[in-house]
Amino acid sequence: QKEVEQDPGPLSVPEGAIVSLNCTYSNSAFQYFMWYRQYSRKGPELLMYTYSSGNKEDGRFTAQVDKSSKYISLFIRDSQPSDSATYLCAMSALHDMRFGAGTRLTVKP
């Protein structure tokens, strides 16, 4: 079993849809949870950063962490074609960071 599981997709939605991206993990020591967005042939850029359990909202993006279920989510409201990218979940216990394989998202106009 991988330490971090993420459905690779691809996921295709119409513009304006609500997108839900998810990851599960097995290491209960993870305390920091992140979502990165990666455009094709580019480096990942940090989208959301959460410490421990709870929700965090930033504009159209909401990150949720449920440590009891070892499950994290990213919701994108009113999705735009510019949101088309690969989304990577990541989690760490200080310097031990693990990444999901990434979910490729396409938002169609």
Partner 1 sequence: DGGITQSPKYLFRKEGQNVTLSCEQNLNHDAMYWYRQDPGQGLRLIYYSQIVNDFQKGDIAEGYSVSREKKESFPLTVTSAQKNPTAFYLCASNFRTSGGELFFGEGSRLTVL
Residues interacting with partner 1, by CB under 8 A? 2, 4, 6, 8, 31-32, 34, 36, 41-46, 49, 51, 88, 90-92, 94-95, 97-102
Q: What is the C-alpha separation between 85 and 16, in angstroms, rounded?
A: 16
Helix (H, G, I), strand (E, B) or coil at 81: helix
CB of 100 to partner 1, least distance (A): 5
How does DSSP classify residue 10?
Answer: -
**Nearer to partner 1 among residue 5 and residue 84 (C-beta):** 5
User: Which tokens hold the place of 2?
Assistant: 């991988």
- What's the gap between Cα 103 and its chain centre? 8
CB of 46 to partner 1, least distance (A): 6
CB of 66 to partner 1, least distance (A): 18
